[in-house]
Amino acid sequence: MTRSLDASAERLLRDLTPQVLGAAIRRFGDFAACEDAVQEALVAAAEQWPRRGMPDDPRAWLIRVASRRMTDQLRSEEARRRREAAVADEVAHDRFARLARAIAGRAGEAQGDDSLILLFMCCHEALTRSSAIALTLRAVGGLTTAEIANAFLVPEATMAQRISRAKSKIKEAGSSFALPTKRDRAERLASVVHVLYLIFNEGYTSSFGPNLHRDELSSEAIRLTRLLHRQLPDEPEVVGLLALMLLTDARRAARTGPHGELIPLAEQDRRLWDGEKIAEGVALVSAALSKGAVGPYQLQAAIAAVHDEAAQVEDTDWPQILALYGVLERVSDNPMVTLNRAVATAMVHGPAAGLELLRSLDGDRRLEARHRLDAVRAHLLDLAGQNEAAAAHFASAAGRATNIPERNYLLTRAARLSGA
């Protein structure tokens, strides 16, 4: 964090961001301009609070500062307009009237929590996923443009442009500041859940070299998913997503070695796993599954839970995992799921059965990450004791990997087998 606030003040600012933005939009209506004004208020807080101390009511303070920015902006717009043309009188009158009403009427009035509406807006389907991610992190997460640019390793100007385009897209799409209608709700919620999942995945990239700070994205994704879960406690897939994130993030410390190298699940030091996160994740997914409506996030969380509950890799309940992948495959027709089911099949019925299942994926055009098929095949050939073939497939997978730690891991396994 670039701000000089202490961690708790920083967290408070970030928690308050969607509430302050919601309040500003309810007063002034203009999402894009309000979002900028709230960012300025956050910057002002980060500058002033450490020096002058925290205000008694931080939320009211932020709303006041953001509103002042909006008022200044509207005034200067009006002044410019008046200079330019007298015909704008009527418009000016209208806007001033609204402004006056806003300032007189609602100052300090407690508003409901608008974070849910904001999440739906920022994850709108009209946006590209990368724009939705950026806008969500800024408008709901309270991160600065520089922080987001830094996390995604792009220039700040590029990120600023992406955010501003996202805001005009939302305007074009005519999205009103309200919860989606009943008809659209399921689809819109799926979009929100997907964006949060993508943010988490970005951050889950291993801590390697310049990417060291990216794990903040995972923490931020968990924080935002908790926020969503508080608003929609009975939505099974939201519970599933939160559980999946916690159960995956729990392994973070064990997942990479001292030089940033990837350590596969089977070789991780399980004492490094975060027991608190595992307990919370297990409780969440158990409760969600008992309610009936089973979706892909809950199933993935359930699989992660089975792995996390094995104190030693030998204790892993592979028949249970295999059964869950079978259900997951029926719910979401995705070749990546079949890949994973092949690994589970190998663990239960032996490598030959797993390799047999993999053959069904040969020539599957949907499998975008082709190298994963090679990598899994190599792993199963290794289990079957076919060293030479395994080494060749590991090498071929390494040649097509798109992530440096993963490529290095695959090369290491290829080298180990060739040397044996």
Partner 1 sequence: MKYMMMMNAPGGPYQIDGWSKDDFRAHIQFMNDFNAELTQSGELVGAEGLAGPDQAKLVRAGDSGTPVTDGVFPETKEFLAGFWIVEVESPERAYELAARASAAPGPGGAPLNMAIELREVMSGPPDDLS
Contact with partner 1 (CB under 8 A) among 172, 258, 402, 420: 402
Least distance CB 166 / partner 1 (angstroms): 8
Instruction: Compute the distance between CA of residue 81 and CA of residue 314 in angstroms, rounded to an integer.
Output: 74
Residues in Cβ contact with 94 at an 8 Å cutoff, skipping those fewer than 6 apart: none
Least distance CB 373 / partner 1 (angstroms): 12
Query: Does position 248 bind partner 1 by CB under 8 A?
Result: yes
62, 38 contact by CB (below 8 A): yes
- Look up residue 262 and give its DSSP letter: B
Q: Which is nearer to partner 1, 97 or 313 (CB)?
A: 313
Query: Does position 169 bind partner 1 by CB under 8 A?
Result: no
Contact with partner 1 (CB under 8 A) among 32, 48, 73, 152: 152
Instruction: Compute the distance between CA of residue 402 and CA of residue 420 in angstroms, rounded to an integer.
Output: 27
Least distance CB 344 / partner 1 (angstroms): 8
Q: Which is nearer to partner 1, 116 or 417 (CB)?
A: 417
Q: Which is nearer to partner 1, 14 or 379 (CB)?
A: 379
> Residue 417 carries which side chain, given as an amino acid letter?
L
Question: Residue 106 CA to chain centroid, in angstroms?
Answer: 34
Contact with partner 1 (CB under 8 A) among 68, 106, 165, 194: 165
State residue 262 phi and psi, 5-degree precision. -75, 140
Among the residue ranges 37-45, 92-100, 231-239, 404-412, the one whose residues contact partner 1 (CB under 8 A): 404-412
Whole-number CA gyration radius for the chain: 25
- SS3 assignment, position 114: coil
Query: Does position 157 bind partner 1 by CB under 8 A?
Result: yes
> CB neighbours (10 Å) of residue 72?
11
State residue 311 phi and psi, 5-degree precision. -65, -30
Spatial CA neighbour of 196 closest among 291, 278, 115? 115
Query: Does position 112 bind partner 1 by CB under 8 A?
Result: no
Among the residue ranges 68-76, 118-126, 152-160, 276-284, the one whose residues contact partner 1 (CB under 8 A): 152-160
Least distance CB 268 / partner 1 (angstroms): 10
Among the residue ranges 23-31, 103-111, 259-267, 286-294, the one whose residues contact partner 1 (CB under 8 A): 259-267
Beta bridge partners of 256: 262
Say how many residues touch partner 1, by CB under 8 A. Answer: 42
> CB neighbours (10 Å) of residue 11?
13
Tokens 């997978």 sit on residue: 397
Instruction: Compute the distance between CA of residue 240 and CA of residue 224 in angstroms, rounded to an integer.
Output: 14
> CB neighbours (10 Å) of residue 92?
17
Query: Does position 155 bind partner 1 by CB under 8 A?
Result: yes
224, 136 contact by CB (below 8 A): yes
Residues of this chain, 359-378, that bind partner 1 according to CB under 8 A = 369, 372, 375-376
Residues of this chain, 309-328, that bind partner 1 according to CB under 8 A = none
Q: Which is nearer to partner 1, 48 or 201 (CB)?
A: 201
Among the residue ranges 115-123, 136-144, 149-157, 183-191, the one whose residues contact partner 1 (CB under 8 A): 149-157
Query: Does position 406 bind partner 1 by CB under 8 A?
Result: yes
Least distance CB 92 / partner 1 (angstroms): 31
Query: Does position 68 bind partner 1 by CB under 8 A?
Result: no
Among the residue ranges 30-38, 81-89, 187-195, 198-206, the one whose residues contact partner 1 (CB under 8 A): 198-206
Among the residue ranges 48-56, 63-71, 124-132, 278-286, the one whose residues contact partner 1 (CB under 8 A): 124-132
Query: Does position 383 bind partner 1 by CB under 8 A?
Result: no
Least distance CB 93 / partner 1 (angstroms): 35
193, 238 contact by CB (below 8 A): yes
Residues of this chain, 327-356, that bind partner 1 according to CB under 8 A = 336, 340, 343
> CB neighbours (10 Å) of residue 153?
10
Query: Does position 409 bind partner 1 by CB under 8 A?
Result: yes
Instruction: Compute the distance between CA of residue 135 and CA of residue 154 in angstroms, rounded to an integer.
Output: 15
Element (H, E) at 58: helix 58-84
Instruction: Compute the distance between CA of residue 420 and CA of residue 400 in angstroms, rounded to an integer.
Output: 24
Query: Does position 168 bind partner 1 by CB under 8 A?
Result: no
> CB neighbours (10 Å) of residue 62?
25
Binding residues for partner 1, rule: CB under 8 A, are 128-131, 152-155, 157-159, 161-163, 165, 201-202, 204-206, 248, 255, 262, 264-266, 336, 340, 343, 369, 372, 375-376, 379, 401-407, 409
